[in-house]
Amino acid sequence: MQVVMPQLGETVAEGTVTAWRKKVGEHVEAGEPLFDVSTDKVETEVPAPASGVLSAILVSEGTTVKVGVTLATIGEPAPAQSGAPAEERLSPVVRKLLAEHGLKPGDVAGTGAEGRITRRDVLDHLDRNKPAAAAADERLPLNPVRKRTAEQTTAAWRSIPHVLQAVEVDFQAVESARGGLTWLPFVAHAVCEAIASFPHVNASLDGDALVVHRRINLGIAVDLGEGGLIVPVVKDAGVKSLPDLAREIRALAESARARKLRPDDVTGGTYTITNNGRFGTLLTAAIILPPQVAILSLDGVVKKPVAKGDSVVVHPVGVLAQSFDHRALDGAYSAAFLRRLKEILEGKDWTAALGGG
């Protein structure tokens, strides 16, 4: 008989075992108090659902589990063998082993004198019938980077009215020029050019005021794997050539992964880009980093059919998604910025831009 965590109320989903009234191997009667449970609503004792021997306790005191989880097992009392009580034919060690593992004497073949069950018999039986081991849960404390990210994103999500807009971009012009570079520096350069026409996306909220920044300090989100996420900042990105921008983005990313960033490398950002494209994502609704008012996600760029006049060609196409703070920007302004960004990426002479430094 399995003893499970009972449902102690319609809205109660879990409970904490605070005390066991019986020990493994002890006899229990149906209705007799077996263990105590505490929930966020009640603290009560729970009776045994059946009579028998408490064969095993699977959840220790102080552990919180969901309703329906098995806490213990109750087995039938061991039957007498050869006219003698089972207690007389089994050693205390064997009795304890059988009780701990929910076994009856009849489950184990004895090899001792007159067929008595020995400790080795029980251990051999357990070894032969050992279930496949389940992987244990691993508890991983949050590292400082992950804890800080959790704090910032939680506060941002609660306080900022996020709105998401996205545009599909034909990256053929970039593809024709980029060589071994990734898409990211081209998007970063285009963002800086588009901000010149729509400066309010490069701003911060300060109380009841919108502070529009003249410098464009681009935050570039860098994945640290299990170490979390960090956002180093390319200072004055708006006045850098495309090659210089590409070099600095790469250098900051390498420093971030080598844990060599300086404090100044992660401060002063005015607009942020997060690049999930290498994982093949379609669209990401990124969380804004306050006091900034917008963040752009570059997602996967894949080959797709594109209509060109009356013909169809296959070009690399990707989605750029911007989350913006509706307190600072309206949808029309953000959409116009994205349209300008798309125009730049699709229409700029990127070969010439790469020759700029």
Residues 149 and 245 in one domain: yes
Residue 326 is a catalytic residue: yes
pLDDT at position 78: 59
pLDDT at position 218: 98
Residues 247 and 309 in one domain: yes
Domain housing 118: 2-128
CA 65, CA 293: separation in Å to the nearest integer? 42
Between the alpha carbon of residue 247 and those of residues 185, 193, 232, 256, 296, the distances in Å are: 9, 18, 14, 14, 20
pLDDT at position 320: 97
- Please give the full DSSP string across 91-140, using - where no structure is assigned: -HHHHHHHHHTT--GGGS---SGGGPPPHHHHHHHHHHTPPPPPPPP---
Residues 262 and 190 in one domain: yes
Residue 299 is a catalytic residue: no
Name the catalytic one among 40, 107, 236, 326: 326
CA 194, CA 333: separation in Å to the nearest integer? 12
pLDDT at position 93: 76
CA 85, CA 88: separation in Å to the nearest integer? 5
End-to-end CA distance of the chain: 77
Residues 156 and 290 in one domain: yes
Residues 124 and 160 in one domain: no
Domain CATH code at residue 113? 2.40.50.100
Residues 118 and 179 in one domain: no
What pTM was computed for the model? 0.63
Domain CATH code at residue 311? 3.30.559.10
pLDDT at position 245: 97
**Cβ-Cβ contacts under 8 Å for 174 (sequence gap 6 or more):** 183, 186, 316, 345, 350
pLDDT at position 194: 98
Residues 191 and 308 in one domain: yes
For residues 203 and 211, the answer to whether their CB atoms sit within 8 Å is yes
Residues 197 and 289 in one domain: yes
Residues 48 and 123 in one domain: yes
pLDDT at position 84: 47
Residues 117 and 162 in one domain: no
For residues 245 and 234, the answer to whether their CB atoms sit within 8 Å is yes
Structural domains counted in the chain:
2
Name the catalytic one among 236, 264, 330, 349: 330
Mean pLDDT, 10 residues at a time, over the chain (357 residues)? 82 82 90 82 76 92 90 79 54 81 84 79 83 73 79 93 97 94 97 98 95 97 84 96 96 88 87 92 95 96 93 96 97 98 97 81
